[in-house]
Structure 1
């Protein structure tokens, strides 16, 4: 997990109580995504594209997750990926695609 800071500013191991329900949503989606859940891919895309559920707004990550959802057959992801791409540079889109390929390659290695 992460690290929580106490009143004396010493690092303490983070506990579940240190995280909000929004933080847990992203963590749960990441766990489901690791199992290949395409709806979790889509939910992560939404969270990163809107900066909701404890995620920061990150269009590269949003594009990556929408791309993975689209590849997995989640129909609405294509539209969302295109909308996010409208606000991105070519370099950012390239980075998002690279991250999506890395995720797929890592997933394929785990499955083998």
Structure 2
């Protein structure tokens, strides 16, 4: 799935305001496909994990899919990053 520059900017700006599961899932897709930069599975997993917590079913699927490409240490890093992000939001 390709995103326009506007959609990419909107997804990134959403995390600064009132992000929802769809926005966070979109960020996961951006990082997992390397759109706008390099592929970063740790960052992608973080956003998919957060989106899944907000009820995004697609994020659960994508998170499971990229987990197969990651080591247990990378998954732990992604989970830690998600917890840290959540801690800054409350």
Specify the TM-score bucket, using the shorter chain as the normaliser: 0.7 to 0.9
Choose between structure 1 and 2 for higher RCO, CA contacts under 8 A separated by at least 6 residues. Answer: 2
What is the SS of the residue equivalent to 2:56? coil
- In the alignment, structure 1 residue 44 sits paired with structure 2 residue 27: yes
Question: How far, CA to CA, are the matches of 2:21 and 2:44 in structure 1?
Answer: 14
The 2-side partners of 1:83 and 1:90 are apart by 14
RMSD: 1.4
Shift of 1:97: 0.2
| Runs of 4+ that moved beyond 6 A | none
- The aligned counterpart of 1:13 is none
Give the helix-richer structure, 1 or 2. Answer: 2
Q: TM-score, normalization: structure 2?
A: 0.87
Q: Which runs of 5+ in 2 are unaligned?
A: none
CA distance in 1: counterparts of 2:66 and 2:37, whole angstroms:
16
User: How many matched pairs?
Assistant: 86
Larger Rg, first or second structure (1 or 2):
1
Which has more strand, going by share of residues? 1
Structure 1: runs of 5+ lacking an equivalent: 1-20
